[in-house]
Structure 1
């Protein structure tokens, strides 16, 4: 049993690919009892990405801290069992197209009639209403329509999509936050509620001031590659040993230290240098000076020099570098967990540390239907004969 900050919450995760399951994973990381319900054929996450020994490595992460059962919600028997589980739940996380749960008699109103405190997180591409509500969509659609892809990439290149589930990850974090807000509200009102989470919105929310800038100034942000459209210098640079580093000079003081380090201290006294917008107008000169200095030195020397100058620069890592970095090791960002099929595995840890009620990875993603017996017989009271009949019918 967990003593994390979400301990005591009973969460049913009936979502897939990927924002909803991420939200449920985060709640589980901090102590919630998460029950993952999959189709008897298995969740799509189990076949997503690389595997080892027949075990999906992504599933080991996104399924962690969740009990796993199988249940076909399209059948009357499955719907009956789901209602029984929902009576005792605090939270349901789902991402079916709008109207699907209602078609099965499992809509929020039906479930809340028996469990008024129920919170339902509904994750879809476009939200529960509007002209696009019934369109299918994944994170890629949100990355395209949110404005993210249009500002990502080189100025003379195509819009660029992220090589991972960025919109889903942001929405998953937002979903977990929304659930905990709803839990807090329930403490005051005694009532649950529906959280309508559209993938297109959380990613848009983190893109900064684009909306108000367009509204008030008519400006549309363009692709600038690794440069910033707001300040300079900011870019990625190749070192003498063909490594890459990234530099940010969002504050004037950091910009001044950087230009002094690379041998152009007099530019700090230019009137335009004192503002980010002024420096942005001279980006080619500033960027060129920094690139020339960095290209003449190996990465280790560059990083050390910038650290001594108290300027913000870092090496560009791949995952193998992350595994070796002493700061990540100190934080235990990549932690070791025992898996019954693979033995010790390393994966990203819980995303923040709490001094009094910390989160933890109690177990990795479990085999398909691993907890069917515990849930259906011990918690719902089904007999072995009933279990066998439901299994034969493809319900579990």
Structure 2
């Protein structure tokens, strides 16, 4: 049933963004049935040059540009800008991700679209404010927003959230939500017999990162300081075989249960460790004792024991482990995509949207076709 969700069939989306956030939003619109034309400069979207690649195609580019048509335009030339204007005049939704002011110089503005266009700008810090002109990346915004400070490793050092583009992808999802809300508002206008209005949306990496940490920001603001970690000793532990596993504890009895499983019931009786706050305060005494106990058996054995007790626990898998897992395979969690130039790639299903599997375009693959359609 989810495979048939195509609510935006007939919607024309003009995607003038590059990288991850904007292209991801536009690709999700394509998955929902929209016709998406991606505007690329002669050098192509910079994501074509990153990650595993062949020619002008890369895994990163494919990940965020599936289901689109690629039109190569040089917006530094008048002929390119003229083609852009004709495409913009047909757009129901327009996306741009230039630094504030650049899109205006190129003519990518709300007024260039239809009278009821949904115009989305994605930037690092938003279209207004002292930092509006600053360039930004996922890692920089993770640091600026406070996210890095919340990700203290076992080495005591604050880290970026791994190789996952957490802020970039969250911004893409936030943009998709904002566009859908704007389209729903237009549908309400039409239902009420009112001409739909132009919607101009401002989505930033900074605001998306903060929204991802809403609970942490709210609690720190309430207390006027950084609160203690709420669920010590939850976290990752290494078994005797070198593999890691994750254990999560949400309720006090789970700590007592865990101490029994690892053969250290005495830790649960120690007054220094009576309660989450106390355990956090005395973590330098508690955590080495837990690690020493866990180092006596393989990670999978600890997972087996914890899961037998209905505790929240699992092995730390690699993406390949996940792809090979019996549950992931049984539910078809990944869908193969035959991508010209790269081969077959396994992509996770889009949650709620089903097994959408459409390749990404080659650089400028549809330029002549699309320009012919608009009379150029």
What is the TM-score of this pair, normalised by structure 1? 0.84
Q: Any conservation in 1 of the 2:58–2:342 contact (CA below 8 Å)?
A: no
- Give the deviation of 1:346 after TM superposition: 1.8
1:376 aligns with 2:375: no
- Give the deviation of 1:155 after TM superposition: 7.3
Runs of 5+ unmatched residues, structure 2: 190-195
Rate the CA distance shift 1:360–1:67 in 2: closer, same or farther, 3 A: farther
Q: Distance in 1 between matches of 2:310 and 2:284?
A: 23
**Greater Cα offset, 313-322 or 324-333:** 324-333
1:227-242 equivalences under 5 Å are: 229-242=229-242
- Equivalence for 2:276: 276
Rate the CA distance shift 1:150–1:266 in 2: closer, same or farther, 3 A: closer
Q: Distance in 1 between matches of 2:102 and 2:165?
A: 24
- Equivalence for 1:50: 52
Q: Any conservation in 2 of the 1:303–1:313 contact (CA below 8 Å)?
A: yes
How many residue pairs align between the two structures?
A: 367
- Give the deviation of 1:284 after TM superposition: 4.7
Q: Any conservation in 1 of the 2:335–2:357 contact (CA below 8 Å)?
A: no
What is the TM-score of this pair, normalised by structure 2? 0.88
- Equivalence for 2:211: 205
Q: Any conservation in 2 of the 1:45–1:58 contact (CA below 8 Å)?
A: yes
Q: Distance in 1 between matches of 2:363 and 2:312?
A: 46
1:207-222 equivalences under 5 Å are: 207-220=213-226
SS in 1 for 2:27: helix
- Equivalence for 1:245: 245
- Equivalence for 1:225: none
Q: Distance in 1 between matches of 2:240 and 2:155?
A: 26
1:20-59 equivalences under 5 Å are: 20-52=22-54, 55-59=57-61
1:6-155 equivalences under 5 Å are: 6-52=8-54, 55-108=57-110, 110-112=111-113, 115-154=114-153
- Give the deviation of 1:307 after TM superposition: 1.1
Q: Distance in 2 between matches of 1:211 and 1:107?
A: 34
- Equivalence for 1:298: 298
- Equivalence for 1:336: 336
Instruction: Note the aligned Cα RMSD (angstroms).
Output: 2.6
Q: Distance in 2 between matches of 1:24 and 1:313?
A: 36
- Give the deviation of 1:244 after TM superposition: 0.8
SS in 2 for 1:27: helix
- Give the deviation of 1:37 after TM superposition: 0.9
Runs of 5+ unmatched residues, structure 1: 222-227, 383-396
- Give the deviation of 1:285 after TM superposition: 5.5
Residue 363 of structure 1, aligned match among 325, 342, 358:
358
Q: Distance in 1 between matches of 2:9 and 2:254?
A: 43
- Give the deviation of 1:265 after TM superposition: 4.9
- Equivalence for 2:349: 349
Q: Distance in 2 between matches of 1:3 and 1:70?
A: 30
- Give the deviation of 1:310 after TM superposition: 0.5
Per-residue CA deviations over 1:28-75 (Å, capped at 9, x if unaligned) read 223222211101221111111221466322222222111111112233
- Equivalence for 1:390: none
SS in 1 for 2:116: coil
- Equivalence for 2:327: 327
Q: Distance in 1 between matches of 2:214 and 2:109?
A: 35
- Equivalence for 1:224: none
